[in-house]
Copies of this chain bind each other. A is one copy, B any other.
């Protein structure tokens, strides 16, 4: 049975690609105020398209930064309501001289569309918009209710996203989020991302004396804050890299059999993964590298400093030392409890007579988790199985996806990442590209997942 919407989309691939290119010509760099006019132009471009394709209630959602662009189609009573997330801002294009074609002049070479933002994430955002446009054109409505939320600050860390969600909380009520950003881990193997680690941060300082001391007058007879800091940092892990903080992972959900199997099934070239950045494998030997990265929490010191760090020699016994720590948490971990276990460990390992103080202790984002039984996941599984002929592998991200955490925390809804970019497309770097084949794949898959989602009751979406 032919899907008329897919037929329509495949017929319209040329105008869709043209529209995508026009979108890519707008240098909407959110990090640089010099591009503010282009940010404005990109919003207008989306507002115009949203209006053209027949979305309702089209508006800018302003939280004090770059506004998000909103538009909705709520013509499927009783069906689930899904926020479709994407972003219209892009990374800066520097260094310009390394681009083979200009970053804001979309150019096709070798089956790929080269332009800043093509992979991250105007390409997948356009696929989502055009899929809904096709439903509205062919069928007059969508199988589900959709609310587009196209952000303008993703590349600068979403500074006003919480303010926007807070201000438009009523407008943004939904059963789940389908994100055009992120999702595919491999070109050949279908994957479904079922969550991400949480993130939490603290910074602390120790003081071992009133001020730096002369290393001749005091060296060898008093505590040195750098020696003490080194011992404190060392105490966080055993020599094999296992976290040694008491009760740190006491509430972490143990990896399920399915997670262990999926992690093993995912094709992962550990040697290539490490060699890419010249890194050395190190971590809890009870887990594989992929398990360490996605199913296990971690503690990393991100910065450490103290004493004299300029040129040459300064003969001091330093009085102070500082460190920044981030903590990645997994499902089940209460982020406040996890960070408190680290804080207690640091205090317990600070030597007698040495003062410890915390300049901040973050409350952080918890790990985000989609149940394998979520309609978002089940729908994606059916679509990808049908399209690719392979059982999708569930994967988790080691990193934290702030929008996922924010939607989960503030709106109590889960996010399925369903973008069609691939990990080898150089996002945030020169010569970013998006595979042209992904456009057709994406249009087909997005059509199908909107249909699949409509087969679920809204009650099935509730997060546990």
Q: Which residues of chain A have a CB within 8 Å of any CB of chain B? A: 196-197, 199, 201, 208-211, 213-224, 226-227, 229-234, 236-237, 239, 241, 274, 277-284, 289, 292-293, 296-309, 313-319, 321-324, 326, 328, 351-354, 362, 397-400
Taking a contact as CB atoms under 8 Å apart, the answer to whether A302 and B278 are in contact is no
A199-B224 contact in complex given A309-B305, A362-B313, C-beta closer than 8 Å: no
15 CB-based A-B contacts, threshold 8 Å: A199-B315, A209-B277, A209-B278, A210-B278, A219-B398, A221-B281, A222-B280, A223-B280, A230-B231, A230-B232, A230-B233, A230-B234, A302-B316, A313-B326, A314-B324
Secondary structure class of chain A's binding surface, majority of residues: mixed
Q: How far is the CA of A400 from the CA of B219 in the complex (A)?
A: 11
**A124 → chain B, closest Cβ, in Å?**
20
Do residues B216 and A279 form an inter-chain contact, with CB atoms below 8 A? no
Whether A224 lies near B300 (C-beta < 8 A) is: yes
User: Judging by beta carbons under 8 Å apart, are A354 and B280 in contact?
Assistant: yes
Within the complex, the shortest CB–CB distance from A96 to chain B, in Å, comes to 21
Q: A210-B278, A305-B304, A315-B326 in contact; A297/B223 too (CB < 8 A)?
A: no
Query: Which residue of chain B has the shortest Cβ distance to A224 in the bound complex?
Result: B300
Separation in Å of the A274 CB from the closest CB of chain B? 7
With A297-B220, A399-B217, A400-B216 known as contacts, the answer to whether A352 contacts B280 (CB < 8 A) is yes
Q: Are A277 and B210 in contact (CB under 8 A)?
A: yes
Interface centre among A209, A211, A278, A308 (most CB of B within 10 A): A278
A234 CB contacts on chain B under 8 angstroms:
227, 230-231, 234
Q: How far is the CB of A281 from the nearest CB of chain B, in Å?
A: 6
Across the interface, A220 reaches (CB within 8 A) one of B211, B296, B305, namely B296
Query: In the complex, which residues of chain B have a beta carbon less than 8 angstroms from the beta carbon of A352?
Result: 280
In the assembled complex, the CB of A31 is this many whole angstroms from the nearest CB of chain B, namely 15
